[in-house]
Chain A
Amino acid sequence: MKRAILKRLVANVVTFLALVTIVFFLVRLSPIGPFSGERVLPEATRKALEDKFNLNDPLYVQYGNFLLDLAQLDMGPSFHHPGRSVQSLIAEGLPVTLTLGFSSLGLALLLGFTTGIGAALRHNRWQDLILSGGARVGISLPDFVTAYILMLVFAVWLRWLPVQGWGTPVQIVLPIATLTLYYTAIIQSLMRGGMLQAMHEPFIATAHAKGVGKWRIVWHHATRQAFRPTMNYLGPAVAGIFGGGSLIVENIFNLPGIGRYFVEAAVKSDYTMIQGTSITYFVMLILMNSIVDGARLLLDPRLRKDAP
């Protein structure tokens, strides 16, 4: 067990280093440099900027400095936000993105978990048809459509909620609702599928035969099994908060999260910011996958036995 964890840790560090290295060199391979905007910069101004960000050093020196800084959690100054470091910009936006992401994912887990099980238990009855139908719609509707529908109904027609912004509790409702609807739809489908499958497992039949009560079978025996697909989904879903769904929702509702930097940095070839946003994403992805793997070990005794 300990060895497995250690192995995992080493693998994670190697993966992380490989990823940041690829990003470091990829951004510098882009034909569009950070200062080749639409304005013709005089040679001297360009040089001054490049010197300021140490872009005239040999590549291996830049790479070495990048790793050294990273080891001290310094992602460097943003090219396009003078006077601001990448980590300070990310730190400023992270609480917003995290609040948005985790509250909607949490809510979605609650909703998706219960409705998914409910739908499975009422398999092919009207409750199931309504719930699964709703989930199909939810999955097919892209975030930006849901966001605008919610905005139209609640902010424009009914005027119950503000159109945009961040700061007051009411402003957070629509963005969270948008993401929650989407995540709920997915989690519900996964839970329903998992539950249906679990209910057909031999050990459930055994439990029935032993005369275990229906609810005890569902909660105690089937749910554990049924939750596995959802669990596998959660890792990437949490990492996806940074870059995927929240990016669109943040942009539509004008939230000051880090979503905006993913696009802006790429468009403007802001090297340090691209590195910063990528690193944030990698860290989340690796961290979440590890947590999910750990959780699977806890949930499934078979995996523990298999581990050397």
Chain B
Amino acid sequence: MKRIVVTSLLMAGLLAFGCKGADTPAKSGEVSVAAPAVEADAVETKYYGTVKPKALTDDTLTICLGPQLKTLDPQKQDESWGVPYSEALIEGLVGYDPEDPLKVVPGVAESWETSADNMTWTFHLGKDRYWYKSGTGTVEKLRPVTAADVKVGWERCLKPEGDCSYRPMFKDVLVAGVDEYFDKLDAWAATKDEKQKKVLRPEVDRLFAQVMKGIEVVDESTLRVQLSSPSSIFLLQMGFPVFSPVYREAVEQYGDAWTQPQNIVTNGPFVLQSWQPDKIVLVKNPAYWGWNAERHGVQKITGYTPSNYEAMLQMYEQGDLDWMGIGCRVMPKMVEQYRGKVADLHINGVGANAYLTVNQVLNAGSSEEKIRLRDALRDVRVRRALGLSINRTTLVRMTKSGHNPMGTFVPLGVGGHKPADNVGFTYDLPAAKAALRDAGYPNGEGFPSFTLAHPNEAVAQLTAQIIQGFWKELGLTVQLVPKQGSQLFGDAMAHNYEISASGWIGDYPDPYTFLMMKRTGNPYNFEGWSNPAYDDLTWKAFTTPDPAKKLAWNQEAEKMLLDDAVVIPLYQINIAQLIKPYLRGLYPNASDHHPLRDVSIVRK
């Protein structure tokens, strides 16, 4: 749900969705040579770094997934580079197939079923799921994981004083009563009036109790969850860390410090050996239920959490690092240079986009110039002209960011989505000029001065400058305004901008995670746009279990958004990672989700 600073995925939050789009990697076991671009000229396979096979005795996986980890607490995990470590320590209710993260596999729950109306889900926990303590260096087996542990994990997040940033996910997956409860809770938190607060509190407590009643511990190993409406993403999201069980005794005893190495109690494939600012070390938990002949993992995982990725790149080249991915990004320039030339560099599109947002509810005050600008930006012909005049291919090439030019809003492949034919923006300067002329500004004459806000960062600035150049072709002069990331975002939410760079990383594999932003009154509806038909369609599409209907409705909604030029799409985010060819079980995918338990090292 975190916004992205255009092109800078280092700032990115969680990517919690997947898709079966064109970018899904080949399904055969050989990941490292499966990149399609390589196959074309794969006469002699070249690699970026040394690929000397590991020594027979060395079963250590050395990786870099991003900077220093903030937390390992599943309920508080909101950094994409922390998720693999969190999941490796605390296993979620379900797990994911490493090849296709849209496929759910057993986790703590070994099976599950849903009622006929798709609104009641029952999870059966495996009998061999246990908690382990490893603080002393040896792995000590504690009691089994119970349904109550799951409920406690959820309660930590849901309770009125819960402070996990992914709390809204409970609303996204449509857990019964959460919507109403959150509304009341937010009203209670927001009011400054003490009397009002006192009146609201019992109501908040009642609604909370009701929500918790819908999350039912049937017996030690059975959990039943009531939804408010059928959800196409509920099961899929159950592997998300926020829905994980916790060992409540440890949480009660140590508070926030329960995830420190000496205190932590885990149930996953690995245990925590050490956790320092610059690296985290996990060790295989031999007693974990899920090990078998095929999935045997590695003995040890050393995860660097550095500040300087260039040093990491060097280590990868020298053979001291096996995998650079997620938040430990390969430099764009390197991508440009090596794309398609080496077999261990993998590039794939993910569910994240970059676009320009145009304020339609500009607070013009009494300034005549601003009133004219507001009226101009409200004119769909102006917005279309702005969008049609941008050559996205040139933009991406000039910034060397390696992303996918995209004229539509929902990234390709998110939840199986593809845009309808002939919607969206393509580069068409004559059409743009005509649209601007029709709007009453031939060759940009008489157009009020306006600004484009962008993140104060090199690539974002270059992007803005290139767009400035495109608009000059229309005869428009735009002034660039660099802003700090959170200020840019805050201003956009407050409708305190004219045109602004923006972007989004989806939270779950459904187009709704993008389309919902532009629904009436949504905080991410920076534009102040509203269309009841759009609101209706997007909700229908989100809650239908029928994939064909979902696609059709989403396409229709996206078309409304693009025909009305509410947003000016720029590109879909591509990610690059370096994976040594001797690693197995790592599959580049659109969710950028990689369970560590499935990774192993081939030694020949």
Contacts and interface: CB of A to CB of B under 8 A. Distances in A.
A107 B73 CA distance: 43
Given A36-B490, A83-B259, A44 B278 contact: no
Interface stretch (A65-73, A180-188, A195-203, A249-257): A249-257
A156 B3 CA distance: 37
B487 A82 contact: no
A38 B163 contact: no
Contact of B182 (A42, A51, A80, A93): A42
B189 interface: yes
Interface string B287-322: 000000000000000001011100110110010100
Contacts, number: 130
A20 B490 CA distance: 29
Interface in A131-186: 151, 155-156, 159, 162-166
B487 A32 contact: yes
A47 B200 CA distance: 15
Contact of A44 (B71, B189, B260, B304): B189
Contacts of A159: 318
Contacts of A255: 278
Most buried by A among B68, B78, B187, B484: B68
A45 B257 contact: no
A82 B72 CA distance: 9
B138 interface: no
Contacts of A80: 70
Most buried by B among A81, A89, A162, A254: A254
Interface in B183-201: 185-190
A252 B168 contact: no
A77 interface: yes
Contact of B256 (A31, A41, A83): A83
Contacts of A47: 189-190
B63 to A, nearest CB: 14
A280 B2 CA distance: 33
Contact of B306 (A81, A83, A254): A254
A253 B160 CA distance: 43
A26 interface: no
A177 to B, nearest CB: 15
Given A44-B188, A164-B308, A39 B73 contact: no
A99 to B, nearest CB: 14
B277 A256 contact: yes
B255 interface: yes
A148 B475 CA distance: 45
A83 B258 CA distance: 7
B161 A51 contact: yes
B486 interface: yes
B13 A83 contact: no
Contacts of A164: 306, 308, 311-312, 314-315
Contacts of B578: none
Nearest to B490: A36
B202 to A, nearest CB: 16
Nearest to B11: A38
Given A48-B162, A156-B314, A252-B308, A92 B167 contact: no
Tier of interface size on chain B: 35 or more
A48 B159 CA distance: 10
Contact of B162 (A39, A45, A253): A45
Interface string B87-120: 0000000000000000000000000000000000
A151 B308 CA distance: 13
A163 B314 contact: yes
Most buried by B among A44, A84, A159, A255: A44
B256 A82 contact: yes
A15 B351 CA distance: 53
A28 interface: no
B189 A37 contact: no
B278 A83 contact: no
A262 to B, nearest CB: 12
B186 A163 contact: no
Given A43-B190, A77-B256, A32 B486 contact: yes
Contacts of B3: 38-39
B531 interface: no
Contacts of B530: none
B475 to A, nearest CB: 34
Nearest to A247: B307
B434 interface: no
B167 A260 contact: no
B161 A254 contact: no
A19 interface: no
Interface in A216-270: 250-256, 260, 264
Contact of A40 (B68, B308, B524): B524
Contact of B308 (A42, A82, A156, A253): A253
Nearest to A148: B310
Interface string A85-103: 0000100110000000000
A181 to B, nearest CB: 19
B591 to A, nearest CB: 19
B479 interface: no
A119 to B, nearest CB: 35
Nearest to A259: B307
Nearest to B259: A83
A52 interface: yes
A208 interface: no
A49 interface: yes
A46 interface: yes
Interface string B477-490: 00000001111011
A49 B306 contact: no
Nearest to B14: A39
17 contacts: A38-B3, A39-B2, A39-B3, A43-B186, A43-B189, A44-B186, A77-B256, A80-B70, A83-B260, A84-B257, A92-B276, A165-B278, A252-B311, A254-B311, A256-B276, A256-B279, A260-B68
For the complex of A and B, 5 pairs with smallest distance between CB atoms: A83-B256, A164-B311, A47-B189, A83-B257, A254-B306
Given A37-B2, A47-B189, 16 more contacts: A39-B13, A43-B185, A43-B190, A45-B167, A49-B163, A82-B71, A83-B71, A83-B73, A83-B255, A159-B318, A163-B315, A164-B308, A164-B312, A253-B311, A254-B304, A256-B276
